[in-house]
């Protein structure tokens, strides 16, 4: 039988409760303890729930925590479980003035029972559970901080439920505190630590006091920043809650280095017996209210913070939940079935069984740790085997590998040459092979000498047409030492060996139409690929610190977005066309706005649209030969060009 001592002081205005000689609360500051432990889980649960909520309090027979959760408007029912009828009787009598007669509230249901047994036998799930046990002085008390007990709590929480646990001092017993943190994690919950200062505890040498918030799914920074607390709180506010999640680095680092999973009561007992006061490192703190790895932790360890805080995998797990819950399972199953047709029946039957098992998990909203891992593994096997049987599938990323065409394989007219309408391929710019194009082909690393600078090619629209990172368009004229720069109202002809313009030409409709079609097919295809890549990285991005390929794909996406921005800007350009028919009855096109006449003259369409002799005789030999290859002997220009070449 526990020894209870209830002492009054300050002319009975204040009081303190001791159990077996240990302070349980002092009425002068008990509101700090009970607001910090009880209000965050109840308030977060109310935010997550669409309707009324139910809660469970384990321990806390004094009714002070019950008083706090009953302030939450959505509270429909709270079950309080305490094995000691003495403290419950005390709560109904002497303590009723402090707990505001909370035990007599119609929403409160009191059970005299042992917490573990209640959790094992009670089948109802709760929106929040608060464990308010006394400091574990005995092995029996330490049993309530083992992985087995935290597992009982996890099974009685709803999927988006919140748990809160009274723990120990993170400054006086950091090994024990961070071992409790790890143990909660190993039980399938994702904890966030809190630390508060309670004067009455500190006066007795208890140190700063620690709690944990936890949930089967992550407690996100956005939730904490929007939490709605009762208006009559004396201590807790949104700001003080966030401050409570900034823990001193000294005890934290010490505790993490010596943490262990508490599987037996003896484990915690040994950790508590190694207590000592640890001071902060230069006053630095670590912020656990953030979603990512705690800021500043990495510099104290030779490995990533993600390895220390395995609970961070929860954020990756949540992304998987979000994606898979939105799936059309019937459509996915039909797609798998279509691809299994014609393959070995044993293999097909095995894949169907795995798919059924995975689908059943998500349809039934069964998200417990082991069930999730088995279902997700089954789903991965389905995707992997289906893709092995039918390599052209893209169940994983949603974009295609090199050489696979989208649509029916039709071609679009380019500026100079036809370009197949293919999907973009990943990892273009991570290779040093050359300048990439849409189909995954690499072209020579060209730099265009313009004025006093040399502009490198960024992307190839086709074999001869290139974009720079500044959105400029250049076209190399095949089999010559000339190239064009395409402006919105004219073409500028350059020579590779000279940075100054040779001449300027007018645009014509053929050039503009081809250019617009080429840019548009690239823009649409790239926009779709960027969207698919973003969806893939939104799901897989959490693994970038482990998987180099994912980190590379993030860099690739950045380059794809640069290119998409270039194409979007070019799509808004207005091109000015000046058209006039060539003056010669017989002439042959040798390049955009350049033709050769039957006299062998090279003529160009000038800026005003008029055709003039440009006098580029050194242009002609290789060009004439290439033009001749495109003509038939019966063509009127064929003999003229042959004779022209002979005279040279």
Catalytically annotated residues: 132
How, if at all, do strands 602-605 and 611-613 pair? antiparallel
Contact status, residue 503 vs residue 600, Cβ threshold 8 Å? no
C-alpha 28, offset from chain centre? 45
* Residue 280 CB contacts under 8 Å (≥ 6 apart), including other chains: 248, 249, 250, 251
Q: Among residues 21, 26, 24, which one has the least CA distance to residue 10?
A: 26
How many CA atoms lie less than 13 Å away from 624 in the CB half-sphere? 25
Q: Among residues 82, 78, 53, which one has the least CA distance to residue 67?
A: 78
The DSSP letter of residue 405 is B
CA distance linking residue 645 with residue 648, whole number of Å = 5
How, if at all, do strands 442-443 and 435-436 pair? antiparallel
Contact status, residue 180 vs residue 265, Cβ threshold 8 Å? no
Contact status, residue 102 vs residue 67, Cβ threshold 8 Å? yes
Q: Which residues pair with 215 in a beta bridge?
A: none
For residue 489 the two structure tokens come to 């109202």
Round the CA-based radius of gyration of the chain to a whole number and report it. Answer: 37
Per-position b or e across 510-522, b if 16+ CB within 10 A of its CB: ebbebbbebbebb
Q: Among residues 54, 25, 191, 189, which one has the least CA distance to residue 125?
A: 54
Q: Among residues 299, 293, 390, which one has the least CA distance to residue 342?
A: 390
* Residue 266 CB contacts under 8 Å (≥ 6 apart), including other chains: 139, 142
* Residue 99 CB contacts under 8 Å (≥ 6 apart), including other chains: 62, 63, 64, 66, 67, 91
Q: Among residues 534, 522, 533, 531, which one has the least CA distance to residue 568?
A: 522
Contact status, residue 57 vs residue 80, Cβ threshold 8 Å? yes
* Residue 412 CB contacts under 8 Å (≥ 6 apart), including other chains: 418, 419, 421, 517, 518, 521
For residue 261 the two structure tokens come to 């999973």
Contact status, residue 578 vs residue 608, Cβ threshold 8 Å? yes
Alpha helices in 27-173 (DSSP H): 30-48, 64-69, 85-92, 96-99, 115-121, 139-142, 147-156
CA distance linking residue 122 with residue 99, whole number of Å = 26
CA distance readout (Å), 46 to 12, 41, 193, 221, 571: 37, 9, 20, 16, 49
């Amino acid at each position: 039988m526990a020894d209870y001592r209830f002492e009054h002081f300050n002319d009975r205005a204040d009081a303190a409760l001791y159990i077996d000689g240990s302070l349980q609360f002092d009425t002068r500051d008990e509101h700090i303890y009970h607001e910090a432990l009880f209000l965050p889980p109840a308030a977060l649960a109310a935010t997550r729930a669409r309707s009324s909520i139910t809660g469970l309090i384990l321990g806390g027979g004094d009714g002070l925590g019950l008083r706090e959760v009953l302030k939450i408007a959505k509270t429909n029912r709270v079950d309080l479980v305490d094995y000691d009828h003495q403290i419950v009787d005390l709560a109904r009598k002497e303590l009723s003035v402090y707990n505001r007669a909370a035990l007599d509230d119609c929403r409160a249901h009191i059970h005299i029972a042992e917490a573990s047994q209640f959790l094992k036998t009670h089948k109802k799930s709760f929106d929040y559970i608060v464990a308010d046990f006394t400091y574990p002085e005995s092995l029996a008390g330490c049993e309530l901080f083992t992985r087995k007990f935290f597992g009982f709590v996890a099974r009685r929480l709803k999927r988006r439920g919140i748990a809160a646990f009274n723990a120990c001092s993170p400054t006086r017993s950091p090994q024990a505190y961070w071992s409790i943190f790890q143990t909660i994690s190993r039980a399938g919950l994702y904890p966030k630590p809190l630390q508060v200062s309670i004067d009455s505890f500190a006066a007795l040498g208890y140190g700063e006091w620690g709690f944990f918030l936890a949930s089967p799914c992550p407690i996100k920074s956005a939730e904490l920043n929007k939490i709605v607390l009762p208006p009559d709180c004396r201590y807790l506010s949104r700001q003080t809650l966030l401050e409570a999640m900034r823990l001193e680095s000294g005890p934290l680092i010490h505790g993490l280095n010596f943490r262990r999973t508490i599987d037996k009561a003896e484990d915690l007992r040994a950790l508590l017996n190694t207590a000592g006061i640890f001071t902060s490192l230069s006053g630095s703190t670590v912020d656990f209210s953030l979603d990512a790895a705690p800021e500043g932790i990495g510099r104290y360890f030779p490995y990533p913070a993600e390895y220390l805080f395995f609970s961070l995998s929860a954020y990756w797990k949540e992304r998987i939940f979000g994606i898979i819950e939105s799936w059309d399972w019937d459509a996915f199953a039909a797609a798998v079935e279509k691809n299994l047709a014609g393959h070995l029946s044993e293999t097909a039957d095995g894949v169907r069984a795995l798919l059924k098992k995975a689908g059943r998990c998500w349809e039934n909203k069964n998200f417990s740790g082991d069930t999730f891992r088995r279902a997700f593994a089954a789903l991965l096997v389905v995707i992997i085997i289906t893709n092995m049987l039918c390599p052209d599938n893209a169940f994983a990323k949603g974009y295609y590998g090199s050489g696979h065409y989208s649509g029916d394989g039709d071609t679009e007219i380019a500026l100079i040459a036809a370009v197949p309408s293919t999907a973009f391929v990943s990892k273009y710019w991570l290779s040093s092979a050359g300048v990439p194009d849409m189909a995954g082909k690499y072209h020579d690393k060209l730099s265009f000498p313009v004025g006093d600078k040399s502009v490198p090619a960024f992307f190839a629209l086709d074999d001869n047409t290139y974009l720079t990172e500044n959105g400029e368009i250049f076209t190399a004229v095949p089999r010559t030492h000339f190239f064009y720069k395409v402006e919105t109202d004219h073409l500028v002809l350059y020579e590779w060996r000279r940075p100054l313009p040779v001449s300027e030409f007018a645009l014509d409709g053929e050039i503009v139409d081809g250019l617009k079609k080429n840019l548009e097919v690239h823009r649409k295809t790239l926009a779709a690929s960027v969207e698919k890549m973003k969806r893939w990285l939104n799901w897989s991005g959490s693994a970038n610190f482990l998987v180099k390929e994912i980190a590379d794909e993030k860099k690739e996406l950045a380059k794809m977005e640069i290119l998409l921005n270039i194409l979007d800007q070019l799509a808004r350009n207005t091109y000015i066309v000046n058209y006039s028919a060539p003056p010669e009855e017989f002439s042959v096109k040798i390049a955009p706005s350049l033709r050769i006449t039957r006299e062998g003259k090279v003529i160009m369409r000038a800026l005003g649209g008029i055709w003039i002799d440009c006098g580029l005789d050194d242009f002609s030999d290789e060009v004439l030969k290439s033009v001749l290859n495109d003509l038939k002997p019966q063509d009127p220009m064929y003999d003229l060009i042959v004779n022209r070449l002979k005279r040279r």
